[in-house]
Amino acid sequence: MPETLELLNSYRCFEGWQKQYRHPSATLHCNMTFSVYLPPQTNDGEKVPVVYWLSGLTCTDENFSTKAGAQRIAAELGLALVMPDTSPRGEGVPDADDQAYDLGLGAGFYLNATQAPWNRHYQMYDYITKELSALIEQTFPVTHQRAISGHSMGGHGALMIALRNPDQYASATAFSPIVNPTQCPWGENAFTHYLGNDKASWKIWDTTELITAGAEKLPVLIDQGSEDSFLEQQLLTENLISVCKTKQYSAEIRYQKGYDHSYYFIASFIEEHLRFHAHYFNA
């Protein structure tokens, strides 16, 4: 265990362990917190695959670990779960001047910012794909097999990261993802601040644009609630469905009748998502 990795909390859970750690991030230039669930298979040192979970706007590493109920099925399937925070935090890390929830702290959008003052700290893409994954694989009893999932802003991050790194992830799933952030208010606000006004540079951070450009195919499952209040203006699911049809990209995109944007929705279908990942780990 690296000396710089500080254990904050540890809980026995379904014969495995739910833990929370803090570490200094060289990528984000601040201390970062993440949670990890280690299933019972790791108690004797067995190595298991990892599913990374990326949370949405305003969330931390704890939302998923306390609300989704994922540990039971992860224990059964022998999957480690890694839950990073949604942005850099701490003294000196810039935040929205008006404390808006869709920019700054809690709203990293899983990209690499290029514009000041954001670019020193807001490098979440590199943090997730390089620094955190290396730390996890060097520290815990896990294999190099990875999958990725997320919700809302985190669903955007999960899909975008997997599409840009298909050799690193066996599969990707998402709940209520922001699938076309270059075309929605949340994304336009964040991308303008983080990336500048050149909208052509935004496309590499947009799932719909990546598939339009011919992204390599990998197994994708998306669940979207039909009663999600953000569906029409922010999530733009139909834009992705249209592009997948045009490009013959075989993502499984399901509308779930009556469900909204909440963790009640995630808890209802998380088992199916983890079984989806387990299937492709074993394929």
Which of these is catalytic: 121, 261, 273, 277? Answer: 261
Judge whether 23 counts as a catalytic residue. no
- Please tell me the distance from the alpha carbon of residue 283 to that of residue 281, in angstroms, as a whole number: 6
- Please tell me the least confidently modeled range out of 32-41, 93-102, 137-146: 93-102
Q: What is the mean pLDDT of the chain?
A: 97
Query: What's the pLDDT band for 3 if we cut at 50, 70, 90?
Result: confident
pTM: 0.97
Which of these is catalytic: 35, 87, 149, 152? Answer: 152
Judge whether 152 counts as a catalytic residue. yes
Residue labelled with tokens 């994954």: 133
Judge whether 228 counts as a catalytic residue. yes
Beta carbons within 10 angstroms of residue 166's beta carbon: 13
pLDDT of amino acid 2: 76
* Rounded percentage of the chain residues whose pLDDT exceeds 90: 96
Decide if pLDDT at 1 tops 80. no
Tell me how far apart the 2 most distant CA atoms of the chain are, in Å: 52
Decide if pLDDT at 198 tops 80. yes
Which of these is catalytic: 35, 121, 228, 277? Answer: 228
pLDDT of amino acid 97: 87
Mean pLDDT of 52-58: 98
Decide if pLDDT at 94 tops 90. yes
